[in-house]
A and B are shown apart, each in its own frame.
Chain A
Amino acid sequence: MTGAVIQALFSHWRRHKLQLATLLIGIALATGLWSAVQAINAEARASYQRASDQLALGLHDELRDPSGLIPISRYVALRRAGWQVAAVLEGPLRLNGRTIQVMGVDMVAYPALPAVTQIERSQTPSDPADMLTAPGRLLVSPELAGALGAQDGLPPILQSDAVPPDLILTDIGVAETLLEKPGQISRLLVLHGQPRGIPPLSDIAPELERVAASSRLDAAQLTDSFHLNLTAFGLLSFAVGLFIVHGTVGLAFAQRRAMIRTLRALGVSMRRLVWMIMAELTLLALIGGLLGLILGFFLAGALLPDVAATLRGLYGAPVDGQMTLQPQWVLAGLAMALAGTLLASGQALFRLSRMPLLTGAGLQAWRGTATVHRTSGLIGVALIVGGFAVGYAFDGLIAGFAMVGGILTGSALILPYLLSLALSAFQRSASRPVAQWVWADMQAQLPGLSLALMALLLALAANIGVGTMVSSFRLTFTGWLDQRLTSELYVTAADNQQGQQIARWLDPQADAVLPIRSVELAHETGPLFLYGIADHQTYRDHWPIIASTDGVWDRLHAGEAVLINEQLARRANLWPGDTLTIKEGHTLTIAGVYSDYGNPTGQAIVSMPQLDRIAPGADTRRFGIRIAPERATEMAQALRDQFDLPRRAVVQQAAMKAQSLAIFDKTFVVTSALNVLTLGVAGFAILTSLLTLWTQRLPQIAPVWALGLTRAQLARLELARSVLLAALTAVLALPLGLVLAWALLAVINVQAFGWRLPMYLFPLDWAYLFALTLLAAFVAAALPALRLLRLPPADLLRVFANER
């Protein structure tokens, strides 16, 4: 009997190959997009973890000098007092046009490094003496080794895949030469197993601060919000994909009613049937899921390089641009496909199991009714209200996404009700019979199309919302760059002494020379960069202040006040009028808050004398130079020639802006790609729904045709119907999209990045999207319309025949 049932079940798919394909594609798309996002996230997180392990980071407390580098004598003093510390010197090195981080560790004292172990254990171990004595060795990843190639003046390279990308790992003796920082130390690792009775740090090196391993922000924490964003988009794509599955499975079950009735009449128990259909769905889910995984793997591979570039640019987080296939990823993807398929088929399966034995084979039963519309509408309203309530009551990124999720799902559930209301209104205003029929027919078709339209609504809203967010951000960012990068030239000297020389040399030639000095402090809110600025009109005119008290600049330069960036303000809830304790004994009133995009850490600005009081000895190596813009290029060259500066040490404003914008644009490449894909999936959902409805169209169209409407007219009406429903949905999607954009800008962004952006509207984009939607609906309806046009009249006549 089982064999017969299987045969019967499969005969359906044999007869409806397109339906089978649609179902599999639906599952594959849902799984694929979701898995791609998961793979990207997993790959990036694995990269952070690998880098952390490879450098033995995160296990040890550290000692840092807030005002800069630590002299070697301090290290020896600590050691001779018994402190077991290991020295690290790190910094950027410009090679072959790219910036590479150099990490020099005291190989004698630093904890185990996998890269070194790996090289020691390799077939051709290098003599460790080479590593410790000049010229030394550079440990780099194979990828970077290829990029560095034959570089003159570099020590020999040893390849190891246990070195994070974009990093040169070497002995501190080599690093001090490469970085031209002889006898300097960036930080000291406090090793495990300190001896008995060592004196407190304040007795030996009071200027050093101990930073606990747990309080340092690592790449994984910094990028959490970025990955959560991606996950949310992945989930959205998954949901849209499931609409296709839901629609197709619903149709397939409806079409099988007759067969199932026959099987039951032959004695197959309902229980058995349900189990077998479950097994069938599981098989389909696994096949579709597998296809989805293949799709997801390649999609992730295609997107990963951009994501990696973004993460490196935004957070300096080390990410490989390479995909590796993880078994748990495959399993999770298949599980997701299975769960999604069963979820999407649950309703259909439930109805099937409740189907009375003698019910007719009609197709109407599986579609929703007006009551269902109202019920789902009520649930929708509840979800929207609940979403806003969650967003209002709770803080945090999860609450933000819960709010967005509630609003989106709720709106999707209300959609059929709203469309039905709109169609009723049209119907009432229609006077001619054909028009009345068209509206009534659309009303009747609505339940079958509503899921596809929901998918379309979500995709459109996401597009409008995300598009508005990205464009608003870009506009704000561009304006902000103009405000922030006011100097025509930026120069970085090799050391303080050269810095002074440059400032003296520039003084008579430039309109103004503005020193840019900063130190990194360990603040209770996390790392805090403290900047000192000169009193100059440039700042008063341009600095992007978003909240301030009266006389903000005067108070700043009087040494009474501090400016903080928006990230710090929002994180610590500090606003003008509050006070900020920068360091013990240095508490200042906050006079203003300024926007500071693309920077994950807190920042504060004080007057130059104040900076010297708080952190004496901060470097004076960077300057902004105000000069007539047309003289900038010439002056940049003159500076390089005069002080023998490398190219990168003198940067023009325009180049800096271009670079910043390039990083910005890359940041949203993935978001845009997911957006377009979601819209494509929604379009596909409409097509499948229309094809589904097609089978039941004949009995509805035949009487109208018999009353005198031509097939061409009917086909045109068919197209118009699809386009009109899409148009109505798009109109409803616009306000939803704007609500979404608002939520992203005012809630999600604040939680994820620490800044709130003003919202701008881009009607031209909407028009474009609207046109695209109509086109998609038109294309989706074209196939059924074409079929109608070519339908032999005999088929239509047969509707009235007895045999049907």
Chain B
Amino acid sequence: MNVKTWLCVLFLLLPSALRTQGYAGLGGSADGFDIPQPGYQFEFPRDHGPHSGFRIEWWYLTANLTGEDGRNYGIQWTLFRSALKPLEAEGWQSPQLWMGHAAVTTPETHYFAERLSRGGIGQAGVTAAPFEAWIDEWHMRGTDPGSVTLSASGAEFAYDLTLTAQGPLVFHGDAGYSVKSADGQASYYYSQPFYTVEGVLHLPEGDVAVTGNGWLDREWSSQPLAADQSGWDWFSLSFDGGDKLMAFRLRGERGDFTSATWIAPDGTTTPLPNGSVSFNPMDTARVAGRDVPVQWRVTLPDQNLDVEVSAITPGAWMGTRFEYWEGPVTVSGSHQGRGYLEMTGY
């Protein structure tokens, strides 16, 4: 149904897709929504909860896992919030819409599921304290985001995991004010990249006990992309030495815009401005009728980083109403490690 396709487009805020939908205006004005400002003072636990004055927001968790069978697995758990109007109301009248995406990636297969709901009725939402983010029976729940249980299920898969943060929250850009284009579009953006994870994946071939590392991204904004930007490539990499890198490239007609954060093992961050990191697709795979770059060369001279990032499962395609690629990767070269890659707009 088109309302739903449109909702997903709204969620992912892809200007090119919006143009084909004949729907314009998101890239430019914010229609009464709040706009991120530099110098914002984060306050917790309040900011773990939703910000209904902003148009769009997400709780985005990915984890690289190793099974008791020694194999690589990845999971995704995402809750998006999108507001049709900058307010909240009771019942069906609520203009707040919620979308959940969940996936399990095995070395061979990619399972995914999608959920949609509107706010106001209790079917989906987020509370800051005690912390709970949920849609339908999927949830991420704990006293605070530092220690949560996580579950989701689809027709073919389910998972039940426990996540414990081993380090502090990490703020991207200028103390959490993350610029997204040369024109100054920005979002609030912080992460918890230090989760240890354990639990069980329920797969068609049987249950698998897993352990590994997780990464939560929290981001909200009202107009994060410039009108000419058509998609992004986003990397979250954890190196064996304990360092981590968040890096993304927004592809635009006027050239790419990049941004990154180097995260030391103790959580100290080094924001890396536009142009610091370079991204080169090495090889593509034919996925869902498109050519998607599943092997990358990522270089960051400042940190003597020159690595090859390869998808573990090239077919990690999210065939949801709005489609994108999201899956676990391995890192080799100057640094070794694992991570997650998200690519939209292909």
Contact = CB atoms under 8 A, between A and B. Distances in A.
B6 A120 contact: yes
A347 interface: no
Chain B interface residue bracket vs A = 20 to 34
Contact of A128 (B2, B136, B156): B2
Interface string B298-335: 00000000000000000000000000000000000000
Interface in A26-64: none
Given A128-B6, A176-B92, A195-B113, A108 B121 contact: no
Given A79-B117, A116-B2, 17 more contacts: A106-B118, A107-B3, A108-B97, A110-B1, A112-B1, A117-B1, A120-B6, A121-B2, A125-B21, A133-B93, A171-B92, A176-B91, A176-B92, A182-B91, A195-B154, A195-B158, A196-B156
A297 B91 CA distance: 50
B134 A108 contact: no
A788 to B, nearest CB: 76
Interface string A159-173: 000000000000111
A18 interface: no
Contacts of B122: 73, 76, 80
A109 B136 contact: no
A75 interface: yes
Given A171-B92, A173-B93, A132 B156 contact: no
Contact of B117 (A108, A111, A125, A183): A108
Contact of A79 (B85, B123, B156): B123
B116 interface: yes
Contacts of B23: 125, 127
B123 A76 contact: yes
B157 interface: yes
A195 B3 contact: no
Given A76-B121, A80-B123, A109-B117, A133 B95 contact: yes
Nearest to A174: B92
Contact of A196 (B3, B84, B154): B154
B22 interface: yes
Interface of A: 72-73, 75-76, 79-82, 84, 106-113, 116-117, 120-121, 125, 127-129, 131-134, 171-173, 176, 182-183, 193-198
A108 B95 contact: no
A796 B158 CA distance: 103
Contact of B3 (A82, A132, A194): A132
B4 to A, nearest CB: 7
Contact of B2 (A106, A117, A172): A117
Nearest to B6: A128
B294 interface: no
Contacts of A76: 121-123
B153 A108 contact: no
Nearest to B153: A195
B7 interface: yes
A72 B85 contact: no
A113 B1 contact: yes
Contacts of B95: 129, 132-133
Nearest to A194: B155
Contacts of B85: 129, 133
B92 A173 contact: yes
28 contacts: A72-B91, A72-B92, A76-B121, A79-B136, A79-B137, A80-B122, A80-B136, A107-B1, A108-B116, A116-B3, A120-B3, A125-B22, A125-B23, A128-B3, A129-B84, A129-B85, A129-B95, A132-B95, A133-B95, A134-B93, A171-B92, A183-B91, A193-B155, A194-B155, A195-B137, A195-B154, A196-B154, A198-B137
Contacts of A106: 92, 118
B344 to A, nearest CB: 21
B202 interface: yes
A523 B136 CA distance: 31
A362 to B, nearest CB: 76
A133 B95 CA distance: 6
B117 A173 contact: no
Quick one: which of A128, A131, A171 has the most chain B CB within 10 A? A128
Residue of A79, A82, A121, A172 contacting most chain B CB atoms (<10 Å): A79
A681 B213 CA distance: 87
Contacts of A79: 117, 123, 136-137
A116 B113 CA distance: 24
A105 to B, nearest CB: 10
A72 B153 contact: no
Given A128-B6, A171-B92, A196-B202, A108 B118 contact: yes
A397 B79 CA distance: 57
Contacts of A198: 137
A121 B1 CA distance: 11
Contacts of B3: 107-108, 116, 120, 128, 131-132
A129 B55 CA distance: 13
A250 to B, nearest CB: 63
A132 B118 contact: yes
Nearest to A121: B2
Interface string B5-37: 011000000000000011100000000000000
A113 B84 CA distance: 21
Contacts of B6: 120, 128
A198 B202 CA distance: 14
Contact of A82 (B22, B84, B121, B136): B136
Nearest to A81: B137
A519 to B, nearest CB: 25
Contacts of A112: 1
